[in-house]
Amino acid sequence: MSLKPYILLSFGLLSSQFISAQITGKIIDAIDKVPLEYATAALYQQKDSTLIAGVVTLVDGMFSIDDLKPNTYYLEASFMGYDTQTFSDIIISKTQTKKDLGIIALTIGNQLNEVEVTAERATVLHKIDRQVFDASKFQNSLGGNAVDVIQNMPSISVDGLGAISVRGSDGFAVLINGKPIQGDVSAVLAQIPANMLKSVELITAPSAKYDAEGKGGILNILTAKGATNGTFTQINIRGGLPSIEAYDTQVPAQRYGIDATINKRSDLWNLSASASFQRNDKTGRREGEVFVINEAENKQTFLPSDGERSFDDISYNGRFSVDFTPTTSDNFSVGFYAGKRTVDRLADISYFDNHAVSPIGSDNRLYTFEYFNKNLRTRRGDFVLGSFDYAHTFSDESKISSSILYEYSFLGGPTVNENIGLVDRSFIFQQEFNTNDNPLNGYRVNIDYQFKPLSFGTLETGYQFRNLDHEGTFIYERDGVLVPEFSSDINLKRIIHSGYTQLTGAKDKWNYAAGLRLEAMDRVYTEDLGTPEPEETFDFDYVKLFPSASLNYQADETTALKMAYSQRVERTTTLKMNSFAEREHSEVFEQGDNQLQPEFIDLVELGVTKKINSGNSINATAYYRHVDNVINRVNTLAYENNGAVLDSIINRVYSNVGRSNVIGLEIGAELKPTNNWSNFIGMNIYNNAIDGFF
């Protein structure tokens, strides 16, 4: 009997054991048609519901499950806040190597099986590494700008002067459609109309894939684009009523604006353009009392004051972007964003009954000096962003992408400070003028590679180059004469090389991500006093690892738990390094430290999300932030050249003062008492303790 048939049969049986197949698909939002990153695709054996594999989607919504044997399966596609979709009778034959399930569209909430379905997007979606806020939910922000939107989020607060903080920190990074901003973030956000925002992503413990910049994390502002083929046009006009409280300002506040967006989309092209004009004045009044105790001279000084403190705020901006998708594997994108903003802050303050008494605690007045301080500070905040991106997806689902970004911004302007008679304002005690020009040029180049999906997750790696060149020219004049002690030319140059490796995946009810980023920074800061003496140079560099890890556990259909760790850096700015005092107003000088070191931060957070029923949910996140080399503004007394104390002038100095620890709790709830009424409620409570010395 011939052995050949048996050999061939045995070889065929053996070969069949090595035949494996792959199931792929793409999960998107059913309404907006946008990809859902970190959605879960779980594959089960149909005969006994045994879990075979679970993966999470990538940023483009794609997933891949590999190394599958011939069998019959079913797949569940799910995402927190969305209804789960199940696909049964997925048959993998012995000769089949790949099965594509195509587009899987998930809807929000529990939807009925009707011909027409109307779904409402949740105000906030919780992902493994971020919270995604739907900008359209904050109706009170319409007609305003991006700052009006983000201040509705529990982690973010905005003070009366427009300064933004995240979890109590003003150090955070801002991205616009994934593109980083190196200039003044408050100036840029104030120029983006709220009507143009689609969503805001708050990434409080960023992964190693992102640049390590940002003590408070990252804000990613996503602007609206057309989701379906066709032409979309939107025009918004805004007008403001007179101020409820005018505060006796010289000129009434004006509030009005207009913005327009047009978008044209086809299978190959997606073109979007927008422009806006906004005027958003603020009225205000300053009532205060500063007192200084000089124990060395047994003397105390009081500076009671009262007067107008108002802002005239005008901004223009325009945006243009083009996406070109010639094939399903290639995508090109070009974007351009520019804005111009001018803010005039008027502080006309009366300093009345100013006096010093001696000894401390006595009412024996030595002298009284009263005057009127007229202070006008003009600040320009201009910026230009330009970017080019290209991405290619290979046949094995691996992907390479590259990005080039250029940024120019200008922040500066003059301050005119006049001390004149309180009654007779033609009498001039002192006139001061200072101005600064701060042009910034920044470049960023990225290249990222995403490997073919593996059974245990997806591996990504990449390299980034960043270059910043920030100049500053500071001119200070008193009574028309240049004051060299307060005048200088400075320059901050920073070059950063960084690379990362990141793994994301899912197993059963677990989603996980872990990564490591290596960063090398070289910083050179120079000061030129404008004298024959050579300029001074201060160098600082480091090579440092920045690890990150995130873990998400889906306890059941309504409850999810998460924990995350991220190490960050808050790099120094030119403003905080300029060691030459700048006159802010009558009673304040402000200066930095030319040897300031960056802050290094460890972030830890634990969170839970609970879906109560359709439309109602609650979430809570406890967080801890430790900062080394913490930069803090310290108030001291100003001194004359001869060493005499200026009792009526405070010197604000930025300096590394030690370390800080922040412990906080965020709580948010989405409540829907009726079909037509929904509420989002949030709060943030934290304690910040600084331990150090000046």
pLDDT reported for residue 462: 96
pLDDT reported for residue 111: 40
The answer to whether 100 and 94 are in contact (CB under 8 A) is no
pLDDT in tens, 479-532: 989 888 778 889 999 999 999 999 998 888 888 999 999 999 999 999 886 666
Which range is least confidently modeled, 37-46, 99-108, 114-123, 557-566? Answer: 114-123
Residue 287: half-sphere exposure toward Cβ, Cα within 13 Å: 3
Q: What are phi and psi of 451, to 5 degrees?
A: -70, 165
pLDDT reported for residue 640: 61
Q: How far apart are CA 602 and CA 445, in angstroms?
A: 26
Look at the block and give the residue holding tokens 């008679």: 421
pLDDT reported for residue 199: 84
The residue ranges of every structural domain in the chain are 18-106, 131-692
User: Which residues, including other chains, have CB under 8 Å from residue 74's CB and lie 6 or more apart?
Assistant: 43, 44, 46, 86, 87, 88, 89, 90
Confidence of residue 563 (pLDDT cuts 50, 70, 90): very high
Q: How far apart are CA 200 and CA 155, in angstroms?
A: 12
Query: Average pLDDT in the 45-49 region?
Result: 87
Confidence of residue 56 (pLDDT cuts 50, 70, 90): confident
The partner residues of 497 in beta bridges, in order of sequence, read 465, 520
| CA distances (Å), origin 191, targets 184, 186, 383 | 12, 9, 10
Nearest to 457 by CA among 567, 560, 554, 550: 550
The rounded Cα 144 to chain-centroid distance in angstroms is 18
pLDDT reported for residue 644: 62
User: Which residues, including other chains, have CB under 8 Å from residue 503's CB and lie 6 or more apart?
Assistant: 457, 458, 459, 460, 512, 513, 514, 515
- Judge whether residue 546 has pLDDT over 70: yes
Q: How far apart are CA 204 and CA 132, in angstroms?
A: 11
Could you tell me where the beta strands, DSSP code E, fall in 281-298?
Answer: 285-294
Task: State whether CATH 2.60.40.10 applies to domain 18-106.
Answer: yes
pLDDT in tens, 616-644: 889 999 999 999 999 988 887 776 655 56
- Judge whether residue 101 has pLDDT over 80: yes
- Judge whether residue 226 has pLDDT over 90: no
pTM of the model: 0.77
Q: If you count DSSP H runs as helices and E runs as strands, how many of each does the chain have, helices first?
A: 4, 36
Q: How far apart are CA 76 and CA 607, in angstroms?
A: 25
Report the topology of domain 131-692.
Maltoporin; Chain A (2.40.170)
